[in-house]
Amino acid sequence: MLALLSGLLLAGLALAVMKWLRDAFARLDADSQLRVSDLAFDDPTTVKRVPCPSVFGEPTKDLSIIIPAYNEEDRLPATLTETLSYLQRRRDRQGAYFTWEVIIVDDGSKDGTVRAAADFVRKHGFDAVRVLRLPRNRGKGYAVKSGMLCARGQRLLMMDADGATKVSDLERLEAKLAEISSCKEEPISSPARTRNGKTGVAAKATSSSGLGFVLGSRADLQDAATAKRSAVRNFLMHGFHLLVMMVVGHQIRDTQCGFKLFSRSAAQQLYSNQRLQRWCFDVELVYLAQRLKVPMAEVQVNWTEIPGSKIRVTSMVHMAIELAMIRAGYSSGMWKVRGPEEVGKHS
């Protein structure tokens, strides 16, 4: 009798776990159908919510930089100052054809992140700097996806709010993107705007219509980083890298560097399919690029470890679960990879 009761208990537990997993997969799949029409930018100069454009529309900027931010009141201002200074110097060098926007996606911060970002909107204008405020914390993956789907750029850069990677390394990634995607350079119309956001003289930005995905890499810096970390953290990191290889193989050595560049067409395909919302969405993007045959490459970047990392030991457990979900979700068919002909339907 005891054995029978134990068997029934275990069977009931197994069914409950299976139901929880099915619900989790279904919820993430439903959330992946994110509609741009449900999103809006904050314009602190008018105190209005402005509807977001769609990445499926025609590009009107040469470059979009998407910066996810959660409780980054202290680190964000320095990153934005460096980034905007670089962009302005580059525009002085290249001329009015180099047009850009910076999108800060606030992931439900509880500090003054939105206020800090809004100061830069007022200073540089709503056309150049935009704040997308999510109503609650959804995770870095969801924040990046939201910003990407609202971008106007022909090329789209994901960049961390801590400024650990030098923004000028973007040009290395751009050179590699042009190489792997065989991009054809074409002019695209782009209304030039003044600092207050009003339309000025028409300008043109550079268009590259190829398909490509370039990842900033810290792989060559791993030995030095390993020497500085604790034995426990190194053990966890090696275990994580082993799991990553089981999911996406050896093609990409560093999936987690927060500095990634996409052609517009690659962003459309990859982010429309992305399901994970937190830790391992980077790995999922690599997995999707492999499935969709999006050309990929890594480029070494300058990287500095910035104090204030949000990675904890428990984060590694969550990351391992998400890696398992990538394999299970796509291999079982619960998550389907939508091709180029389908991805724009839910925009």
- Domain with residue 265: its CATH number is 3.90.550.10
Q: Which residue has the tokens 């956001």?
A: 197
CA distances (Å), origin 276, targets 65, 109, 143, 270, 285: 21, 20, 11, 12, 9
pLDDT of residue 152: 98
Q: For residue 5, what pLDDT is reported? A: 67
Average pLDDT, the chain: 86
- Candidates 199, 202, 58; CA nearest to 126 is 199
Share of the chain above pLDDT 90, in %: 63
Tell me: the pLDDT tens digits for 59-75?
999 999 999 999 999 99
Residue 191: inside a domain, yes or no?
Answer: no
Q: Is 170 left (phi over 0), alpha (psi -120 to 50) or beta?
A: alpha
Q: Which residue has the higher pLDDT, 109 or 317?
A: 109
State residue 147's pLDDT score.
98
274 contacts 32 by C-beta, under 8 angstroms: yes
pLDDT for 243:
87
pLDDT band, residue 340 (cuts 50/70/90): confident
Section 213-238 average pLDDT: 70
Report the share of the chain in percent with pLDDT over 70. 80
E strands, 280-345, are 296-300
> What is residue 199's predicted lDDT score, i.e. its pLDDT?
40
188 is a domain residue: no
Query: Does residue 337 form part of some domain?
Result: yes
Provide the token pair at 313. 């030991």
Structure tokens at 16: 């409950």
Q: Is residue 197 part of a domain?
A: no
The pLDDT score that the predictor gives to residue 323 is 93
Tell which phi-psi region holds residue 126, choosing left (phi > 0), alpha (psi between -120 and 50) or beta: alpha
Give me the pLDDT at residue 203, please.
40
Has residue 76 been placed in a domain?
yes
CB 15: neighbour CB atoms within 10 A?
10
Rounded CA-CA distance 106/143 in Å is 7
Tally of domains within the chain = 1
**Domain of 335?**
24-183+209-344
Domain contains 249: yes
pLDDT of residue 192: 45
Tell me what the mean pLDDT of segment 36-48 comes to.
91
- Report which listed range, 15-19, 175-179, 242-246, is most confident: 175-179
CB 270, CB 132: distance < 8 Å: no
Both tokens of residue 230?
A: 């604790």
Whether residue 19 is contained in a domain is answered as: no
Whole-angstrom distance, CA of residue 142 vs CA of residue 53? 17
Residue 316: the pLDDT is 76
pLDDT digits (tens, 9 = 90+) for 131-183: 999 999 999 999 999 999 999 999 999 999 999 999 999 999 999 999 998 65
Query: What local confidence, expressed as pLDDT, does residue 170 receive?
Result: 97
Is there a domain that residue 189 lies in? Answer: no
| Eight-class DSSP state of 105 | E
Cα 297 from Cα 40, distance rounded (Å): 33
Q: Which amino acid is at 298?
A: E
